[in-house]
Amino acid sequence: RFDVVIIGGGSAGSVLAARLSENPDRRVALIEAGLEPTDPDIAQPSMWPFIQGRDYDWAYETVPQGGTAGRVHAWPRGRVVGGSSCLHAMAHVRGHPDDFEAWAEATGTRNWSYDRLLPAFRRSERFSGGGSELHGGDGPLPVWLPGEEVNPVVRAYMEAGLQRGVPSLGDHNGRRLNGTAPNALTIRDGRRVSAADAYLTAAVRARPNLAILTGLLVHRLVLEGDRAAGVAVTRAGVGEIVSGGEIVLCAGAIGSPLLLQRSGIGDPETLRRAGVACRLAVPEVGRNLHDHLLGAGNVYRSSRPVPPTRLQHSESLMYLNAADVTRPDGAPDIVLGCVTGPSVSESFAPIAPGFAYTLLFGVTHPTSRGFLAIGGPELSDRPLIDPAYMRTEHDRLTFRRAFEVAREVGSAPALEGWKADELLPGPGVRTAAEIDAFIAKAAITHHHPVGTCRMGADTGAVVDPGLKLSGLDNLSVVDASVIPTIPSGPVHAAVLAIAETFAAGWTDRP
Ligand code: FAD
């Protein structure tokens, strides 16, 4: 029996396993469905788009999305030690302080405000620019702000932004977010650093009080009264129970709500339909599912060869106020990205790399909300994932604006030396209806699903502001699922900060 059982050795789980096992008297188990990563491509930053679908990917799919021309969207998720941080694109963007103001409001506590999260952001990072009031200098995760490695076409795009009046920013991870900056990357010496690489170091793994149990599938929680006594797992097909005093669910924005539902915790009607007896009615488990989309893309044929990326293809996100792209303050509404090659959704014929580059575009604060649910009682039953992409008018209008801004930046003088012509959607696409139809076919996930076990002070919230599941004494959820509203940017930095904050607050427990 362990004092703490952590379910899921992904981004959040790696942080918690390392932090909670710092106390040698606390026996910690980290349970992960996948194995240690062995594929050398994982460590190669430029390989990230090509490793999806391999045997360490859960390879989820959404149901057909009415808002995106009825398309089914592939949702990769890591099934490996390090979780989705072994698949992700390595961009490190905390978000805007106002994003966390929304969290503080939702939870009724300043603990989730930017200022209170700042120590956690700093604690997690080892910034290439050194430590400061805003940056951590000696944390586990390298955060590298590249310089001359940034591709020349991406530099031209940043210059094009400046020519359109976009403020110069330089670093996404300060108090301002609007402006031009290269992406800070979790890369060291040319190699990806996953959350597990950063936190589960050889010294941490050598701790006698930490057991990292890989290849264990968690099927359900074992509930006894108002406690979770343990978890029912299979290892190579053989069932066993791992029991613990405290259970912390870190299975991710998809895995965590599905596991709760399989355990009989969720909306009674959803559970009934899946053939699972309801043990604890928590209707919002799986609800509030939301994600960032990116239009892929506004693609240009280049007039000269685009050098291959020395980083991870998508080298600079540009956050902007939709009404006034020159505005430096406030949270953004839209984002552009520049990819060093052609980036298109499956709706379009592939374009050969070498003579093309792409401006991606998207909405930072979508208001569409969907849900996910188990399809049956077993882990092998296919879940129903419906992010309700582009359900709201806000999302459709803001997406169109993002596309228009991409085109404005794409036609600025600084890119003249690169641009031959616009391949997608092509100069013929001009009216609102034509643009909307293009976006519906071009939108792809930015890979940031969140919100399915949202934290909050209200009675509907799945976890309370301390991340404890309402209704059970010893179960917490700590991962991307607890995010109540998505921050402006990629969410990995925020997930690590959530886990760091939770670990720092672990005082009166075993
Ligand atoms: P995960 O890291 O997914 O961890 C969940 C873990 O739980 C996994 O290891 C999983 O195998 C395990 N698990 C789940 N169910 C079970 C079970 N039943 N039994 C046992 N184990 C289980 N974010 C950024 O900030 N920047 C980016 O550039 C970026 N790009 C991305 C690109 C891709 C392709 C993807 C997939 C994600 C990207 N993200 C990015 C998002 C980011 O990686 C995730 O939000 C983050 O890793 C989520 O962390 P987590 O701890 O919530 O879940």
Query: pLDDT (tens digit, 9 = 90+) per residue, 436-476?
Result: 999 999 999 999 999 999 999 999 999 999 999 989 999 99
Note the pLDDT of residue 164. 98
Residue range 270-285: mean pLDDT, rounded: 98
Note the pLDDT of residue 507. 75
Note the pLDDT of residue 329. 97
Atom number of ligand 1 nearest to Cα 481? 52
Q: What percent of the chain has pLDDT over 90?
A: 99
Note the pLDDT of residue 88. 98
Atom number of ligand 1 nearest to Cα 8? 7
Structure tokens at 507: 């005082």
Does residue 44 have a pLDDT over 70? yes
Give the confidence band of 133 by pLDDT, cuts at 50, 70, 90.
very high
Does residue 206 have a pLDDT over 70? yes
Note the pLDDT of residue 56. 98
Q: Does residue 463 form part of some domain?
A: yes
Structure tokens at 397: 């209008």
Nearest CA to ligand 1 atom 28: 89
Q: Does residue 114 form part of some domain?
A: no
245: domain CATH number is: 3.50.50.60
Residues forming a β-bridge with 30: 6, 212
Q: Does residue 479 form part of some domain?
A: yes
- List, in order, residues 6 or more apart from 403 with CB less than 8 Å away: 295, 298, 361, 435, 438, 439
Nearest CA to ligand 1 atom 3: 84
Q: Residue 218 is part of which domain span?
A: 2-36+206-289+451-483+494-504
Q: What is the DSSP string of 71-103?
A: B--EE--B-BTTGGGGTS--B-----HHHHHHH
Residue range 286-305: mean pLDDT, rounded: 98
Q: Does residue 86 form part of some domain?
A: no
Does residue 399 have a pLDDT over 70? yes
Give residues (CB < 6 A) around ligand 1. Answer: 7-13, 31-34, 76-79, 83-85, 87-91, 217-218, 250-253, 255, 259, 379, 447-448, 479-480, 490-493, 495
Note the pLDDT of residue 130. 97
Mean pLDDT value across the chain: 97
Note the pLDDT of residue 370. 98
Nearest CA to ligand 1 atom 12: 8
Give the confidence band of 510 by pLDDT, cuts at 50, 70, 90.
low
Q: Does residue 219 form part of some domain?
A: yes
Q: Does residue 69 form part of some domain?
A: no
How do residues 149-176 score in pLDDT, each as one tens digit?
Answer: 999 999 999 999 999 999 999 999 999 9
How do residues 228-238 score in pLDDT, each as one tens digit?
Answer: 999 999 999 99
- Residues catalogued as catalytic: 448
**Ligand 1: centre distance to CA 487 (Å):** 16
How do residues 28-40 score in pLDDT, each as one tens digit?
Answer: 999 999 999 999 9
- List, in order, residues 6 or more apart from 226 with CB less than 8 Å away: 471, 472, 473
Does residue 333 have a pLDDT over 80? yes
Q: Does residue 83 form part of some domain?
A: no
Total domains in the fold of the chain: 1
Give the confidence band of 123 by pLDDT, cuts at 50, 70, 90.
very high
Does residue 508 have a pLDDT over 70? no
Note the pLDDT of residue 470. 86
Listed in order, strand segments (DSSP E) in 84-237 are 125-127, 141-143, 187-188, 191-192, 210-214, 216-224, 227-235
Q: Does residue 381 form part of some domain?
A: no
**Ligand 1: centre distance to CA 77 (Å):** 5
